[in-house]
Structure 1
Amino acid sequence: MNHAFKMKLKPGMVEEYRRRHDELWPDLAEALRGAGIYDYSIFLDEETLSLFAVLKRKPGYPFDDLPKQAVMRRWWDYMAPLMECHPDNRPIDWPLEPMFHFD
C-alpha cells in the first residue's frame, strides 16, 4: 500500500532538514516500523522547496495511530521551525493522487 504527499520547507532550511533526517531518532524509526511503514522516501524540489514523500506500508498495522504517539509529536515540534506547519506543529501536507505505476 503506497501513500504519497507533499510538504513545504521554509527558505534556507534545506541543509538542516537533511541533517535532521540523517540523524533520525531510533525511537521514531521504531514507531514508523510499528505503523507498518517499510519504505519511506522524501524528495526535494529545490526550486519550490516542495518535499515529495512516498511511503510504503503493510496493511493491518496501526498507521492512523502514528500521529497520537509521543515520539511523533516530539518530532513534529523539532521539525516545525523548518517547514510549514499547522498550529499543533503537524506538517501541512497535501495528498498526491496516483497517476502512473510501473512494477
Structure 2
Amino acid sequence: MIKKAVRMKLYPGLKEEYAKRHNQLWPEMKKMLKDHGAKSYSIFFDPETDYLFGYLEIEDEERWAQTANTEINRKWWDFMADVMETNPDNSPVTVDLEQVFEL
C-alpha cells in the first residue's frame, strides 16, 4: 500500500460548500477512484489557514496518475474550481507532502 498526502487551498468561507459537495460525491466519481486503486481517501481542513490536507492509500502510482485523464475527474475539477485554488486546467493546486513519521 502506498501512502500519499497532499495540501490544497480552499477559498475563504467555503468550507461548508466544499464539504457538502464531497458528502454528495457522484457515484461515478467514487467508482473511478476505486477503479484506479484508491483504498482510502480522507480530506481534513485547517480553519486557521483554509488549507486542505488530503491523505490517500493507493495500490499503484502509475494507475493512480491515470485518474487525471478520466472524463469524470475533469468534470469534478470543473465543478470544484469555484471553491479552491486551481491550475489553468481546473485541477487543484496541490503540494505533495513528505511523510516524516509513522507509529
TM-score bracket relative to the smaller structure: over 0.9
What TM-score do you get using the length of structure 1 for normalisation? 0.95
Aligned residues: 102
Question: Is the CA contact 1:34–1:61 (under 8 Å) kept in the aligned structure 2?
Answer: no
Question: Is the CA contact 1:36–1:61 (under 8 Å) kept in the aligned structure 2?
Answer: no
Unmatched tracts of structure 2, length 5 or more? none
Residue 60 of structure 1 deviates from its aligned partner by 7.4
Question: Is the CA contact 1:37–1:55 (under 8 Å) kept in the aligned structure 2?
Answer: yes
The runs of at least 4 consecutive aligned structure 1 residues that moved more than 4 Å come to none
Q: Give matches, 1:1-103, under 5 Å.
A: 1-59=2-60, 62-102=63-103
Please give the secondary structure, in 1, of the residue aligned with 2:73.
Answer: helix
Residue 12 of structure 1 deviates from its aligned partner by 1.4
Residue 62 of structure 1 deviates from its aligned partner by 1.5
Counterparts of 1:35 and 1:87 in 2: how far apart (Å)?
Answer: 24
Query: What percent of counterpart residues are identical?
Result: 40
Question: Is the CA contact 1:44–1:50 (under 8 Å) kept in the aligned structure 2?
Answer: yes
String of CA shifts for 1:19-39, please: whole Å, max 9, x gaps. 000000000000000110010
Question: Is the CA contact 1:85–1:91 (under 8 Å) kept in the aligned structure 2?
Answer: yes
Residue 59 of structure 1 deviates from its aligned partner by 2.9
String of CA shifts for 1:36-81, please: whole Å, max 9, x gaps. 0010000000000000000001137711110000000000000000
Inter-CA distance 51–2: structure 2 relative to 1 (3 Å threshold): same
Counterparts of 1:30 and 1:7 in 2: how far apart (Å)?
Answer: 23
